[in-house]
Amino acid sequence: MGQVKSTLPRKGRRLSQPEKDLLKSALIIFVMGGPGSGKGTQCKSMAIKYGFCHVGLGQLLRQEAQKGTKRGQKIRELMLRGLCMPTGFILDLISDNMLCCPVSPGFLIDGFPQELKQAKEFERLVGRAPNMVIVFECSMRTMVDRARRRGDVEREDWDSTLAVHRQLQTYYATCQPVLTFYQQKELLRMILAEAAPDVVFARCCSVVQSLR
């Protein structure tokens, strides 16, 4: 699925050397998974346990989409259509929020990268790959059910069944090249995420602790 035209930046801003040095020195973990896979919930728990800075891409996009700006309207449109955001905009959003985090032993970047171009551009801008990429494996039915329940609580149209199905179609279409890219770097860690939250959390902790 392609991207619609927008005013969102397609090329990320160049980081200064001090910014690069800061990001290079910290532990960086990407957490991938479809909408409703539970990655946001688990990242919040891991951030508390390990003192990591949690940068949740989905939550950041929701916050932007709720603003009454032209940029917010464009983000909402892309989310409803289930399309990937322009790479530059995503990289700026991620890096700016990483740099705004207080000093911590590491970063949990939740919902990133959305596609292979973002993965490669992150390495180009920051000058390094992540330390690990955790992937939440979940059935489509489970993810749709979870997203629908979240939509019932938050009452946002991007959590509607139609919007979630569109987001899942994009995720499945774009994630495999990303998984292959990181598999070749031996960075992938797969986690079955169908179980109860505490069981999934224990699996996440086991994976994170393998880095130490």
pLDDT of residue 10: 74
55 forms beta bridges with 109
What domain count does the chain have?
A: 1
Assigned domain for 172 exists:
yes
Assigned domain for 190 exists:
yes
For range 9-20, the mean pLDDT? 83
Assigned domain for 117 exists:
yes
The whole model's pTM is what? Answer: 0.87
Assigned domain for 19 exists:
no
Closest residue by Cα to residue 189 from 175, 206, 202, 173? 206
Supply the CATH number for residue 96's domain. Answer: 3.40.50.300
For range 5-9, the mean pLDDT? 62
Assigned domain for 146 exists:
yes
Each residue of 106-160: pLDDT tens digit? 999 999 999 999 999 999 988 999 999 999 999 988 988 887 777 666 656 656 6
Q: How far is CA 4 from CA 35, 81, 85, 189, in A?
A: 21, 10, 9, 32
pLDDT of residue 154: 63
d(CA 40, CA 56): 7
Assigned domain for 21 exists:
no
Assigned domain for 12 exists:
no
Each residue of 169-207: pLDDT tens digit? 888 889 999 999 999 999 999 999 999 999 999 999 999
Each residue of 83-95: pLDDT tens digit? 888 899 999 999 9
Domain range holding 189? 27-209
Assigned domain for 173 exists:
yes
